[in-house]
Amino acid sequence: MKAIRINIAALFLILVCSVQAQLKYNDADINFDNLLYVRAAKQYESIVQKGDNSQHVLQRLGDAYFFNTDMENAAKWYGMLFAKYENTLEPEYAFRYVHALKGIGNYKLAKAIMKIYTQKLDVSKFSVEQLKNNDEALDELLNRQPQFYITNLAINTPVADFGTIYYKDKIVFSSSRDSLRFETRIYEWNQQPYLDFFMADTIDLGSDLAKVEQFSPILNTRYHEAVAAFIPEGNVMYFTRNNYSNQALGRDGEGTNHLKMYTSELRGGEWTDATEVPFNSEEYSVGQPALSPDGRYLFFVSDMPGSIGGTDIFVVEIQRDGSFSQPRNLGPTINTSGREMFPYVTAKKLYFASDGHLGFGGLDVFESEMGSNGFGTPNNLGRPLNSNRDDFAYIVNESTQRGYFSSNREGGKGDDDIYSFQRLEESCEQTVKGSVIRKANAQPIVNVEVELFASDGTSLGTTRTDPYGAFEFETVLDCEAKYNLKIAKQGFNPGEKQFATTNEKDFVNNVPMEITKKLNKLIVRENGVLKIKIDNIYFDLNKANIRPDAAQELNKIVEVMKEYPKMVIKIEAHTDSRGSDRYNETLSDKRAKSTGNYIVSQGIEANRIESAIGYGEKILLNQCSNGVRCTNEEHDVNRRSEFIIVKLE
């Protein structure tokens, strides 16, 4: 990943001007240390051609191309570096190698490097999502549904244009265009003019910009100015500049010119000379300001002590008297061992660029929900907004979901280009799968027809269960909608089940279903009670043994109970009122128990017969009680054996 480049994706490091020229090994090192990477790369390649493949030379050669965003050559030289010195390299080089591979679209090898370094990083303080075993997460990211329509702006030039911010009804941005000056000063790193602020009108509903003009001749100096933020009233701004005052660059003890944040007020239609914020330092960089919508909180980027990675996002509260609280690091949910940059804050979200969270390569744009407990897990905004190069400086009007971002992706007009975007309403889609088991024994049922219906009854498709009872529909379902599944199979009762989708994108609904076998025709319901209905069982006079004709009928009971292996019954034997009450009760009880014993003798477990009781003439079905004259046919109604189902399945 680029640690330093004029393409402001690495603004903090690209604007740092070093005057060190300590001789280390040769002129290549001197040029590298002075950020002259194009010149240094050629010299290092010459050294390699002479046979020097040392770790130092290969690292510097890969870095020289990496910092200038030449990912093809960076991947080439990092590849050689890893082949020879993998076991002695710092994790940062795996990090850069992964980004270089992603930058040329080689995600397969990038994932392999991520796997290799997962264990190594367990003992390292260098922690970034890019170097974790994220196969599935990266695949999901690569296959994610696009939700942006982007447009390269007409105002872009062959040099750097980036870093938009809303200012009243206009857009302020930074650019290396130098058309307003008679004497063009060139930044040695990339042979482009220094950065200044410009302003433009929005046109075509904000999809493009026009009428570019210089923002302020007072604020634009001989060095870099970039990335601004304005309070809601528009009369105070914060911005980033080289440490520059009294017509000279300020430097730390090692000769490095850090970035600083400045503020200016609009008075009488003119911006005042810039003054520093109090948390600047000669020893580290501070910049890339972003203000909360109410103007109370100032977010910024710094590599100050306490940073987790190369650059972190911090926040200070602006007090009523204009003073600032102590800077607070946003913490490891947002900041990584990589670089987090270019914050933009709305009432609900923090947007920022990062190369430490899992992405496509280079800086990617992320969003994080702001809650009562801080910031939520960052979400990569996906392609096409993000690419395998640097994508950053995202701003948005959330009421219209239109905005701007910057990128140095292939196909642009220059170094960094400004793009407009329309964020599309992300469609929420789900699918459904499930299983069908028999309710009686929880066994999966094969070849069940499953039909999916919309809430209005429209059929959306049909499938069948596999040998494991499972089914799945490829039909895309809407989120937060109701659907109905119906199942059918010959010999079973049809069933159905409703389900409702949630608002979770790409969720797979799992709907388990049960099916019951159709009741045997001998199973009937009388007065709400399930019974097995067979013809009357006849016994010899005054006897309880099972006759052959009775056995034929009882075998029907046996077959039904075998068909329903969980069925439990109770047996009741009844007589008519002829004969004494005591005699009838005793005889019927013997016949009931004889009936139960026969059923058990045919292979039915004894515990499946809950009871076998004779009731004599206690439960008559008609008026033919003692002393009532009845016909033989009327008495026969009361002579019966009943098989009552206590449990079916």
DSSP structure string for 486-534: EEE-TTB--EEEEEE--S-TT-EEEEEEEE-BPPPTTEEEETTEEEE--
pLDDT at 550 over 50: yes
Domain layout of the chain by residue ranges? 8-142, 429-515, 523-647
Which pLDDT score is estimated for 117?
65
CATH number of 429-515: 2.60.40.10
Half-sphere exposure of 500 (CA within 13 A, CB side): 4
pLDDT at 183 over 50: no
Residue 556 binned pLDDT confidence (cut-offs 50, 70, 90): very high
Which pLDDT score is estimated for 334?
95
pLDDT digits 0-9 by tens, 601-612: 999 999 999 999
pLDDT digits 0-9 by tens, 360-378: 888 999 999 988 888 999 9
pLDDT digits 0-9 by tens, 9-59: 334 443 433 333 333 457 888 888 877 888 888 889 888 888 888 999 999
User: Do residues 485 and 452 make contact, with C-beta atoms less than 8 angstroms apart?
Assistant: yes
Which pLDDT score is estimated for 252?
45
Q: Are strands 429-438 and 508-515 parallel, antiparallel or unpaired?
A: parallel
pLDDT at 641 over 70: yes
Which pLDDT score is estimated for 496?
95
pLDDT at 513 over 60: yes
Q: Specify the amino acid at residue 335.
A: N
**Separation between Cα atoms, residue 452 and residue 493, nearest integer Å:** 17
Residue 132 binned pLDDT confidence (cut-offs 50, 70, 90): low
Q: Name the one residue in this structure whose structure tokens are 């948390």.
A: 279
Which pLDDT score is estimated for 539?
81
pLDDT digits 0-9 by tens, 87-109: 888 877 887 888 888 888 888 88
**Separation between Cα atoms, residue 613 and residue 646, nearest integer Å:** 14
CA angle 300, 303, 304 (to 5 degrees): 90
Which pLDDT score is estimated for 244?
52
User: Do residues 362 and 334 make contact, with C-beta atoms less than 8 angstroms apart?
Assistant: no
**Residue of higher predicted confidence among 142 and 201:** 201
pLDDT at 129 over 60: no
Q: Which fold has domain 8-142?
A: 1.25.40
pLDDT at 527 over 70: yes
Least confident of 86-100, 110-124, 131-145, 183-197: 183-197
pLDDT at 394 over 90: yes
Which pLDDT score is estimated for 124?
53
Residue 256 binned pLDDT confidence (cut-offs 50, 70, 90): low
Which pLDDT score is estimated for 23?
39
Q: How far is CA 130 from CA 113, 259, 387, in A?
A: 10, 27, 15
User: Do residues 130 and 356 make contact, with C-beta atoms less than 8 angstroms apart?
Assistant: yes
**Separation between Cα atoms, residue 364 and residue 354, nearest integer Å:** 6
pLDDT at 500 over 90: yes
**Separation between Cα atoms, residue 409 and residue 224, nearest integer Å:** 22
Q: Specify the amino acid at residue 188.
A: E
Q: What percent of the chain has pLDDT over 70?
A: 88
Q: What percent of the chain has pLDDT over 90?
A: 49
**Residue of higher predicted confidence among 591 and 181:** 591
**Residue of higher predicted confidence among 8 and 530:** 530
Which pLDDT score is estimated for 185?
44
Give bridge partners of residue 235 from the DSSP assignment.
Answer: none
In SS3 terms, 199-249 reads as EEEEEHHHCEEEEEEECCCCCCCCCCEEEEEECCCCCEEEEEEECEECCEE
pLDDT at 247 over 80: no
CATH number of 523-647: 3.30.1330.60
First to last CA, the chain: 65
Which pLDDT score is estimated for 215?
92
Which pLDDT score is estimated for 2?
35
pLDDT at 537 over 60: yes
Tokens at 417, concatenated: 């280009």
pLDDT digits 0-9 by tens, 262-311: 999 999 999 999 999 999 998 899 999 999 999 999 999 999 998 988 89
Mean pLDDT in the chain?
Answer: 85
**Separation between Cα atoms, residue 315 and residue 327, nearest integer Å:** 6
